A and B are shown apart, each in its own frame.
Chain A
Amino acid sequence: MRNRQNQKNWTNLRGLLSVEEREKLENLRLELVCMQAANSIPHDPPEISSLETELICLTTNTKDCKPVRFHSDLLLKKHKYNEIKKIFKEILENIEAYRDEFTKNQTKINLLLADDARASLRNRSLDFSDLMPSSIIKDVQVLANMEANVVVMKNALKTKLVGEKSVPVASSPISSIIPRTSRNKKTSPSNYHHSVLSHRKSNEWNQVSSTEYKRTLLLNIKYNDDFKATIVPSFESCLCSRSYFLRVKLHFDKGVGSAEIDIPVQVKNSFI
């Protein structure tokens, strides 16, 4: 229940969004490429036995504002994120070692100051903060001690593989399904681009060369109404931030294995 004032406010807010920002993510198009091994006899590519979709929730915490905005992929992959922290921990150790040595030789340094250096300091003694300001040291500390927490929400989404006949080729199906009012959330792809191969048939492997096959999957995605957790919209602030990914897992039959892809999405409060 919203009064007229809030309804008018919501209409104004919706008007601020661009046309593409108003779109809701309902269908996801995946393109698979299968390369046949050169040392194998020709055979058909494997079929998909099952498909899973998970919502990955990434929360970062820092003790101050980060000097650099981070790409979500750098924080999701643990080895990349640990590598960045390791680099800045080493820098921090270097700075502390230099500061100790500077403190030890501070009297000697100030005796060696020439006249032009002394004038630039306005006859003040040279401090370590003149060469390495404390704000930069604090920025290094922030990057060395930031934390990223990854939570996998397995049951947050419902995914259905759209069949061939229900979706015409080269069209962009837009579903009229409106999510529940209490959700007020929208997922939209931010870095995902794809092209429609109009001459290909959907949901089947198409041979494009003697050893290469391609396949296009169309996934219909919506929120699971039975999911009880609260999905907070994506945001960035000085001390913490929240990002989301759509993880699609494909399992193949014949013991081939599985494939996995993480697609960054944004959760927004754009729909009533």
Chain B
Amino acid sequence: MQESKEPQNKFEGCQRISSSSSTLFGGTSFEEPRCGTSQGKEEDAFACNNGDHCSSITNVQEDDFVLPELLPSFEMYENLLSNIPQSSFDTYFPENPPFYEVASRNQSIPSEGESGNDMRILTGDIVGPDNHEVTVDGRRFASGPAESQIRNYDDTKGIPVENIYALPRIKTPIATELYVTKTAPKFGQLPKHESMLREYTSGDIIHGYFTVENKSTKPIKFDMFYLTLEGTTSSKTQSPFGIQKTTERILRMVDMAASWSYNHEDVNTGEDLCGFFDSIDKTSFGLPNSRILNPGDKRKKFFTFKIPNQLLDVTCKHGHFSHSLLPPTLGFDRPSSSHPELSTLKFSESLGYGRLSERGSSLWLNDSSSGSLINYSINAMIVGKDVASGRVCLMSEKKYSIRIVPFGFQNNPISREKCLKDLEDFDIEIANRLGMIEKVFSKIERAIPIHKEDIQEANRSDQLSPLRGKYEWNAVAGNTENGTLKKKH
């Protein structure tokens, strides 16, 4: 079974996830960095109810603020992060986040601008056993709209967030810009942008902000806005079908405060900053709950990421600990020939690097990458419906490359003896299985029934004797390689 060559994606910067890396995401698409040491969870989180309020906005964002470590609620994770939300949800769910109180059927929940029928249906959906009865109640109030709403909810299928990289891309007049700053950005102050040569290490905090602007004259509806810090590794190897490139996504962290959600509060202060106007760059803070970008309304939000110390355990399917440490940035992904600013790409021998003049482009370094490519970038992605086709697509995408040189944690290399022993054990396992197949073949020729022990590994000790000494490379003269596997003809 030869793995086929990955198709060349026509979109520049798009990273396909190969089928061999399907175990990376498993049941969750949200990668949480994990510390093996005393540090706790490191995660940018959504502050639902932040108790402490500050009197002044400008006093809040100091250089040494503590990064909040909060987890999303289950509903928020399921509806916004695990699956890509679609606007058709709105016909069933109200604009406000779901209530956590379990209300009885007789109690009326006041909701501004919403009908009572939706509330009863929603609360009924939370109380599982009573769902059917509440539906009957719903019919009494307004049977037609209630039924259509219920049916619409059943037809809505969530798109897993892993599929966001395979969504088609359309050109939209949405302009998205990403900026990385030295310190946490503040209102009313000119931000100090970070140098393009900055090298981040484990535990460092990346500060920045993004702006989103609708350049057209019509409002644009979007479904979701994601802001992520992602890392990918690629390797090129020779195969009988040419050069084969394998790409694996090793890191995906979502800044839930910077991504779109129903909340208004800023993650650092807990205050309602949505719509706050910053006169420095003439932007308004936050993305509106209506998920509509009005023309001329430039929106801004701050983001913060903390570089993790290591990746999740599921990163390596063989469980090697050294593979769960962060690899450093390596190699240069040369932009395609159709890139508009390719002519500005020049490698400077005296400086030792080259880059495009575009902000956020990666550095071209002389690091002897030899076909290896390790990239880290901050990504902004806007998902929405295509007006023409009605399909979910990527409306806008922006990437800001960063360089990570992780801290040199203690990572002892494998010893020579252990490596040879592991190779021997792996070889023995395969030889035992091949011996099992040979036994089945011999039974076919003699028409002997095949029993349970012939196709299971229980009696593997009765198979071939161990092929010891096969992987020893002693410089002893006359050492000949014995025990080579017989080739079946």
Q: Mark A180-224, 1 if CB is under 8 A from B, else 0.
A: 000010100011000000000000000000000000000000000
Q: Is the CB of A269 within 8 A of B413?
A: no
Residues in A with CB closer than 8 Å to B182 are 1, 3
Distance in angstroms from B370 CB to nearest chain A CB is: 4
Chain A residue contacts of B444, Cβ below 8 A: 105, 108-109, 112
Q: Is A95 an interface residue (CB 8 A)?
A: yes
Query: Which of B203, B408, B423, B488 counts the most chain A CB atoms within 10 A?
Result: B408
* Set of chain A residues within 8 Å of B409, measured between Cβ atoms: 16-17
**Is residue B372 within 8 Å, beta carbon to beta carbon, of the partner chain?**
yes
- Does A18 have its Cβ within 8 Å of any Cβ on chain B? yes
- Tell whether, in the assembled complex, residue A112 and residue B488 are in contact, meaning their CB atoms are under 8 Å apart: no
Instruction: Give the contact-size bracket for chain A.
Output: 35 or more
Does the CB pair A264–B413 fall under 8 Å? yes
Interface flag for B1 (CB, 8 Å): yes
Decide if A161 is an interface residue (CB 8 Å cutoff): no
Chain A CB within 8 A of B172 CB: no
What residue of chain A has the Cβ atom nearest to residue B348's Cβ? A228
A110 to B83, CA, bound (A): 43
B328–A84 contact, CB under 8 A?
Answer: no
A residues in contact with B413, CB < 8 Å: 71-72, 190-191, 243, 264, 266
The verdict on A235 contacting B328 (CB below 8 Å), with A59-B372, A108-B444 known, is yes
Contact check, A117 vs B233: say whether CB atoms are below 8 A apart: no
Within 8 A of A (CB), among B425-466: 426-427, 429-430, 433-434, 436-438, 440-441, 443-444, 447-452, 454-456
How many interface residues does chain B have, given as a range?
35 or more
Complex formed: what's the CA distance from A190 to B441 in Å? 49
User: From A243, which residue of chain B is reached at the shortest CB distance?
Assistant: B413
Task: Please encode chain B, from 323 to 337, with 1 for each CB lying within 8 Å of some chain A CB and 0 for all others.
Answer: 101011110000000
Q: Which of B246, B451, B456 is A63 in contact with, Cβ under 8 Å?
A: B246
Query: Which residues from chain B contact A33 at a C-beta distance below 8 Å?
Result: none
A134 to B328 alpha-carbon distance, docked (Å):
31
Bound form: Cα–Cα A73–B405 in Å: 25
List A residues 119-171 near B (Cβ within 8 Å): 119-121, 126, 130-132, 134, 136-141, 145-147, 149, 151, 153
B361 to chain A: which residues have CB within 8 Å?
Answer: none
Q: Which residues of B contact A65 (CB under 8 A)?
A: 316-318, 320, 323
Whether A138 and B488, one on each chain, are in contact in the complex, defined by CB atoms closer than 8 angstroms, is no
Q: Is the CB of A145 within 8 A of B238?
A: yes
Question: Within 8 Å of chain A (Cβ to Cβ): is B90?
Answer: no
* A105 to B420 alpha-carbon distance, docked (Å): 36
| Chain B residues with CB under 8 A of A179 | none
> CA separation between A253 and B250, bound complex, in Å?
53
- Identify 30 residue pairs between A and B in the complex whose beta-carbon atoms are under 8 Å apart, listed by A's number: A3-B182, A9-B201, A16-B37, A17-B410, A18-B410, A63-B3, A63-B246, A68-B419, A69-B418, A70-B414, A80-B473, A87-B470, A90-B487, A98-B438, A101-B441, A114-B449, A117-B450, A117-B451, A130-B455, A137-B1, A229-B365, A230-B367, A232-B405, A233-B328, A236-B411, A237-B323, A240-B330, A242-B372, A269-B407, A270-B408
Given pairs A236-B325, A268-B407, A270-B407, 18 additional interface contacts (CB within 8 A) = A3-B182, A16-B409, A63-B3, A63-B20, A63-B235, A65-B320, A66-B318, A67-B422, A69-B419, A74-B419, A101-B441, A116-B452, A117-B454, A228-B352, A238-B316, A238-B323, A240-B233, A270-B408
Residues of B within 8 A of A (CB): 1-3, 20, 37, 39, 63-64, 182-183, 199, 201-205, 233-239, 244, 246, 248, 250, 315-318, 320, 322-323, 325, 327-330, 349-353, 365-372, 374, 405-416, 418-420, 422-423, 426-427, 429-430, 433-434, 436-438, 440-441, 443-444, 447-452, 454-456, 470-471, 473, 484-485, 487-489
Interface residues of A (CB under 8 A from B): 1, 3-6, 9-10, 12-13, 16-18, 21, 57, 59, 61-74, 80, 83-84, 87, 90-91, 93-95, 97-98, 101-102, 105, 108-109, 112-114, 116-117, 119-121, 126, 130-132, 134, 136-141, 145-147, 149, 151, 153, 184, 186, 190-191, 228-233, 235-240, 242-243, 264, 266, 268-270
